[in-house]
Amino acid sequence: MEVSKEIQDSLQKCGIRRDVDVWRISLTRKKLTGVPDLSRFHFLRKLWLNNNKIRELSCRSLNCCLTELYLQNNNIKSISGALNHLTCLRLLFLHNNQIRGLDDTVHELRKMQQLQTAKVKSVERRRSFQMHSQDRHRVLQSVAFGRRVS
């Protein structure tokens, strides 16, 4: 089923007749590979796009007043140039994606003054370090245990 048709069916089930009455949309588990055009929903505040197959993030069609964006469990590789116009975001979930380049990611999020921070558990930090800095992790492990790195 086409995404726009699916959105329309969902709105009808909820009894919503006008686009201005839409303040949240859930497109979870729809096998989406990209972000659909949702620009017609001017008062959209919460958007669930999690558990899809989104690879590239192009959110220019999203309302800049969006406060919650759920993008976890996708295949997103980078958020560069995609989210910086969403200055009202308070919640942004990006975990369990393929994002590389922490500097680019932080640069993208710098204008989001309302964004709430979450504590990262030491186990999560260690696992991330092992996954994304394998060479450095191997060297640190060898130094910590007095082994020589070849």
Give the chain as a 3 state SS string. Answer: CCHHHHHHHHHHHCCCCCHHHCCEEECCCCCCCCCCCCCCCCCCCEEECCCCCCCCCCCCCCCCCCCEEECCCCCCCCCCCCCCCCCCCCEEECCCCCCCCHHHHHHHHCCCCCCCCCCCCHHHHHHHHHHHCHHHHHHHHHHHCCCCCC
CATH of domain 3-118: 3.80.10.10
Phi, psi of 46, rounded to the nearest 5 degrees: -130, 130
What residue segments make up the domains of the chain, in order of their start? 3-118, 119-150
Q: Read off the pLDDT of each residue in 86-107 and give the average, rounded to a whole number.
A: 89
pLDDT higher than threshold 80 for residue 72:
yes
pLDDT higher than threshold 90 for residue 81:
no
pLDDT higher than threshold 90 for residue 126:
no
- The string of pLDDT tens digits covering residues 17-67 is 899 999 999 999 999 999 998 989 999 999 999 999 999 887 777 888 999
